[in-house]
Amino acid sequence: MSDFAQTLKTWRAVRRYSQLDLALEADISGRHLSFLETGRSRPSREMVTRLGDALQLPLDARNQLLTHAGFAARYAGRNWTDADMAPIRSAVERMLSSHMPYPGIAVDRLWCIREANAAALALFGMLGVGVGDSLIDLTMSGTLEAVVENWPEVAHHTAKRLRVESLAQGGVPELDRAIAYLSKVDGYTERGSNPVIPTIFRQGDLRLSMFSTLAQFGTPEDVTLDDLRIELFFPMDEVTAIALETMAGA
């Protein structure tokens, strides 16, 4: 079996499609798909693109499918500091700075912090984390158990989010290790009193209850941007809002 055939078959299994399901989604015959998966037929570049769309593959996986089929990769993976990325960096910085005095960060697929506003640097700085550091490592360090008041609840919902992200990318070992760690946290009970689940930090007299929103680029043509997520934190109560404003002023 060719590399392309094996990769296609693996992604079809990840997406839990039968051959018929994928053939219908890609608007090709089941016979042709079967030939592609057994290596009896070689795909055109257009066919690889069509299958990538049908499987909703991330850009790095589309590149892999193309190279395994014998074609050049389509999507670049620029460095965050490249000149071509200047408009993107500017947009991210504007989003984060305009979100002050509340924390905001930009993270990559492994939850490494690429950018952070002053409020986020102050918040995560208390936990020993800054730009370039991994929130996945923080999650498994034991630090959060001591400072997150509702840790079992946060751990449960973080594991759910990580499962979705890992599955979408075909399985990410770093995320899967964090899922296994978080799944062992005891004490979670189902509660439905709030519209969202806040993360409640407590250090000494400081108590911050926050929820977050996630944003991503809508039309990425670069692997780096396809992986980037912007997370903005908001206060869950007035006490937290005042505390964050005070921290930002200081």
pLDDT at 250: 61
Which phi and psi (to 5°) does residue 148 adopt?
-100, 115
CATH 3.40.50.720 for domain 83-249, yes or no, is no
pLDDT at 2: 80
Amino acid 172: pLDDT: 93
CATH of 3-68, one of 1.10.260.40, 3.30.420.40, 2.60.40.420, 1.20.140.10: 1.10.260.40
Picking from 90, 46, 50, the residue whose alpha carbon sits closest to that of residue 71 is 46
List C-alpha distances in Å: 111 to 10, 38, 134.
Answer: 25, 37, 6
Question: Within its chain, how far is the Cα of 202 from the centroid?
Answer: 26
Q: What are the residue boundaries of the structural domains of the chain, listed by start? A: 3-68, 83-249
**What pTM was computed for the model?**
0.88
Q: What pLDDT is recorded for position 134? A: 96
CB 47 within 8 A of CB 37: no
Q: For the chain (length 250 residues), average pLDDT per consecutive 10?
A: 89 94 95 94 96 95 95 94 93 96 96 96 93 96 94 95 92 95 89 84 92 93 94 96 85
